[in-house]
Structure 1
Amino acid sequence: MPHSATASTPLYGQALYGQSPEGTPLTAGVFNEHEVRAAAGVTMALGTAAFVFAYFAKVYLPIQVVTTLFFIEFLVRVVAGFQYSPVRWAVRWMTRRREPEWASAKPKRFAWSLGLVMAFAMMIITNSGIRGTLPLTICLLCITLMWLESVLGMCVGCELHGFLVRRGWAKKDPAYEVCAHGACTIGTRRGAGS
């Protein structure tokens, strides 16, 4: 259920407005899951193309450029929010005819923070001229994670966030925490009869 945003806690994400059962106005930070998945698809296509050039043609400039762009993209998502992301602006038209499917901002931010770390590592590795198994492994992992999100709607970072919350190692977003496929659900998930 959304909660009131206060002056001390700025809202991260797009505002979703609602009411509590008592009628109190509520606000939560969310992102449109359709836009997030489209953005994952676009970044996956860019990353795959750059990977193919680097791995098969031994042309490294595309992967150096793409990893730098990914670092900037994830930095914007984590610091300012997905609504300011350059890729989001590019994919808005792809999803404009679909009704928004809201997903909580906090688990997405956690997932994008992991993406930021991997993008930073790849940017440093590829622009330093390191070649071989390390960048190959990280690149394939990133492409796989983007494929899972864009094609299957599975946000591995959100799944990890949900796991950490269920273990008590992270806090649930008190406002509104809904993730694709119930990744953020705290109680029993996918139990008997569901």
Structure 2
Amino acid sequence: MMAHSDKHRFLTSPVLATGQTFEGESGLRVNETATRARAGLLNILSMLTIFILLWQPELDPVIYVGPYVIVDMTMAALFGLTPLSPSGLVGTAITMKLPPLWKPAKPKQFAWTLGAIMGVTCLVFRLLDFPAGWLLAVLGICFVLTWLEAVLGFCVGCWLHAKLFGCEICRLN
């Protein structure tokens, strides 16, 4: 691991930067510990949405969850975990006493953009009244992807970013 600050930071400097900078290093970094906590929160949200769709579909959770996920993922992709991503704020807050693990921001931004696209897909499927199976399939993928990130620390979007665009720094960390 490269020599990064062991200090956990709630806000980036400048505040709306996508990640944190470190002296002597190029590129922005995001705290992987907070990112994984955020993924865990989104995993719980996707699981609850699936359960509600299966057992109480009349509650229509996607009409509420879809916009939340779209905003949350878009804000994270554009401005980092804090201060505009609601799940990023909570994920960061609950990991403040844990040591940070700084990772490159670009792959995470790419992954969060894909997450926003999946949110849009869910909402469009719902608004166009697609069969429930289609919606459940996308939600199932969201569940698996957030579980992989939260539990195993494997970000499929980051992996895909490295395959498509290359990321030498990703292999070093």
Say what the alpha-carbon RMSD is for the aligned residues. 2.2
Contact 1:71 1:123 in 2 (8 A): no
Contact 2:81 2:89 in 1 (8 A): no
Aligned residue in 1 for 2:67: 68
Hey, what's the Cα distance between the residues in 1 that align with 2:120 and 2:77? 13
Question: TM-score w.r.t. structure 2 length?
Answer: 0.81
Q: Which moved more, 1:62-71 or 1:143-152?
A: 62-71
Aligned residue in 2 for 1:18: 23
1:60 deviation in Å? Answer: 4.1
1:132 deviation in Å? Answer: 2.4
1:59 counterpart = 2:64: no
Unaligned runs of 5+ in 2: 3-15
Helix, strand or coil at the partner of 2:129: coil
Contact 1:74 1:116 in 2 (8 A): yes
Higher relative contact order (CA 8 A, sep 6+): 2
Aligned residue in 1 for 2:171: 185
Contact 1:32 1:101 in 2 (8 A): yes
1:61 deviation in Å? Answer: 2.3
Q: Which moved more, 1:122-131 or 1:72-81?
A: 122-131
Helix, strand or coil at the partner of 1:82: coil
Hey, what's the Cα distance between the residues in 2 that align with 1:92 and 1:17? 19
Structure ID, larger Rg: 1
Hey, what's the Cα distance between the residues in 1 that align with 2:61 and 2:145? 20
Once the two structures are aligned, what percentage of the paired residues are identical? 28
* Number of aligned positions between the proteins: 158
Unaligned runs of 5+ in 1: 2-10, 20-25, 167-171, 178-183, 187-194
Query: Match for 1:149: what amino acid?
Result: E
1:91 deviation in Å? Answer: 2.3
Question: TM-score w.r.t. structure 1 length?
Answer: 0.73
Query: Match for 1:57: what amino acid?
Result: Q
Between Structure 1 and Structure 2, which shows a larger proportion of strand residues? 1
